[in-house]
Amino acid sequence: MSGGSVVPIEEIGNIRPPPFVRLPDLVTVFVRRAERLEKLAPGHVLEGWLRFMAALSRAQHEALRRLPPGSMPGPDEIAAAREAQRPALESEHWQGDATWPAALDEILRIMAAVNKPAAAEAARASLAALDTEERAALVSRYLSFELGAGERGAAPYVAAALQLYWTRMAALLDPAAVGLRDDKTACPICGGPPVASVVSGAEGDSRSLRYLCCGLCQTQWNEVRIKCTACGSTKGIAYHHVDQGGTATDEPPARDTGERAKNGGPTVRAETCDECKTYLKILYREKDVGADPVADDLATLELDILASEAGYHRTAPNPFLILGET
């Protein structure tokens, strides 16, 4: 029975509330993502794409080590943001410093040697040829979702550089200085939308708490489970996964398979809301400790396709997968 963990007797009655934010760990965040993508790639229908994304994550990890010193908001600015319930590193007021162009250059340099389709190399080369102003304009278009049809190939490189810029700032923040925000639909650190939910406790905490994961600064923030992350409804929430057998899904399995259905079930489900007809993926780390919100999201495109066909709209995209006009 996996109804919970065994709690030491001195802790009974003293279980602490969960931390509101978990800031990213720069040492592991990108390299673990790369390892995850490399693990998911073999035999996957989009193997080439996942391998490319694994290489890009590795490039991020490498580039991190050669990043020049950046700028951070001071204690007064962080306190003011907290007072106003605004994110401390709000991406709406994007100004940037020397960090992100350096990150982009480094990523483009490393990616030059990576085996990839001609179109991916062409997108890389044309991005490398842009001058500072053109790049800044491209970032603005990316952040405001106005990338032209011919520019979508640049999106993963730009996203990778912006992730480095924001993730490092987020990692250097003091979690105690970050205020708890009432608005849980956006990242409390940078204001970005969540790319997915993960269900898992902090290190050494086996509780199945839900954390929303920011696609930009990699911060995770706590939100209660069984609740729509877009409209806040607790009614009409369901969890959908892909049934590859194509068998009837209404028939429950034999009784004795119940535990398997829970513990051996899919790692990734779509948390759908019938009130606002949206979904966001939710990853159960208890089933696979290596699950990564960005990597596992990219590797479960079939779930997006089926959820879309069922009439659910995704609330926010993966930063690396910008869709064309529909």
Partner 1 sequence: MGVIDVTRRGFFKFGGTALAGSTLAALGFDPQPALAQVRPFKLARTTETRNTCPYCSVSCGVIMYSIGDRSRNARSEIIHIEGDPDHPVNRGTLCPKGAGLLDFVRSPTRTQYPMYRGPGERQFRRVSWDWAMERIATLMKEDRDRNFIDRIDNGTTVNRWLSTGMLAASATTNETAFLTYKIVRSMGMVVFDNQARV
- By CB under 8 A, the residues from 143 to 172 that bind partner 1 are 143-145, 149, 152-153, 155-156
Residue number with CB closer to partner 1 (27 or 137): 137
If binding is defined by CB under 8 A, does position 31 make contact with partner 1? no
- Residue choice 46, 67, 72, 114 for contact with partner 1 (CB under 8 A): 46
Instruction: Check if the beta carbon of residue 322 is closer than 8 Å to that of residue 155.
Output: yes
Residue 46 vs 79, nearer CB to partner 1: 46
- Burial class of residue 230 (count of CB atoms within 10 Å of its CB; 0-12, 13-18, 19+): buried
Supply the minimum distance, in Å, between the C-beta of residue 9 and partner 1.
12
The residues, ordered by sequence, that sit 6+ positions from 32 with a Cβ below 8 Å of its Cβ are: 290, 292
Contact 268, 198 (CB under 8 A): no
Among 43, 69, 74, 252, the residue binding partner 1 under the rule CB under 8 A is 252
Any contact of residue 259 with partner 1 (CB under 8 A)? yes
Residue 235 as a binder of partner 1 (CB under 8 A): the answer is: no
Retrieve residue 122's tokens: 């062409």
Calpha distance 164→64 (Å, rounded):
7
What letters, b where the CB count within 10 A reaches 16 and e where it falls short, cover 236-258? ebeebbeeeeeeeeeeeeeeeee
Nearer to partner 1, 76 or 203 (CB): 203
- The minimum distance between CB 187 and partner 1, in angstroms, equals 8
Backbone angles phi, psi at 72, to 5 degrees: -130, 150
Nearer to partner 1, 24 or 191 (CB): 191
Count of residues engaged in binding partner 1, rule: CB under 8 A: 95
**Region 48-107 residues binding partner 1, contact defined as CB under 8 A:** 48-49, 52, 91-92, 94
Would you count residue 321 as binding partner 1 (CB under 8 A)?
yes
Task: Note whether 249 binds partner 1 by CB under 8 A.
Answer: yes
Give the SS3 label for residue 190.
Answer: coil
Using CB under 8 A as the binding rule, the residues of this chain from 103 to 132 that contact partner 1 are 116-120, 123
Hey, what amino acid is at 48?
Answer: G
Select 79 or 147, whichever has its Cβ closest to partner 1: 147
Considering the complex, what minimum distance in angstroms separates the CB of residue 85 from partner 1? Answer: 16
Contact with partner 1 (CB under 8 A) among 27, 172, 177, 305? 305
Pair of tokens at residue 61: 């990890």
Task: Mention every residue, 6+ apart, whose C-beta is less than 8 A from residue 155.
Answer: 142, 147, 319, 320, 322
List of E strands, 13-74: 21-22
> Which tokens sit at 202?
């902090």
Q: Which of 9, 246, 264, 289 binds partner 1 (CB under 8 A)?
A: 246
With H, G, I as helix, E, B as strand and everything else as coil, classify residue 201.
coil
Say how many C-beta atoms besides its own lie within 10 A of residue 314's C-beta. Answer: 18
Q: Which residue, chain included where needed, has tokens 């490039």?
A: 59
Q: Tell which one of 269, 285, 291, 292 touches partner 1 (CB under 8 A).
A: 269
User: Segment near partner 1 (CB under 8 A), from 5-13, 26-34, 66-74, 125-133?
Assistant: 5-13
Q: What separation in angstroms does the CA of 210 have from each of 220, 229, 291?
A: 9, 11, 14
Nearer to partner 1, 27 or 238 (CB): 238
- Kindly state the smallest distance separating residue 111's Cβ from partner 1, in Å: 11
Does 306 bind partner 1 (CB under 8 A)? Our answer is yes
Q: Cβ of residue 63: shortest distance to partner 1, in angstroms? A: 19
Dihedral sign from CA coordinates of 253, 256, 258, 263: negative
**191 interacts with partner 1 by CB under 8 A:** yes
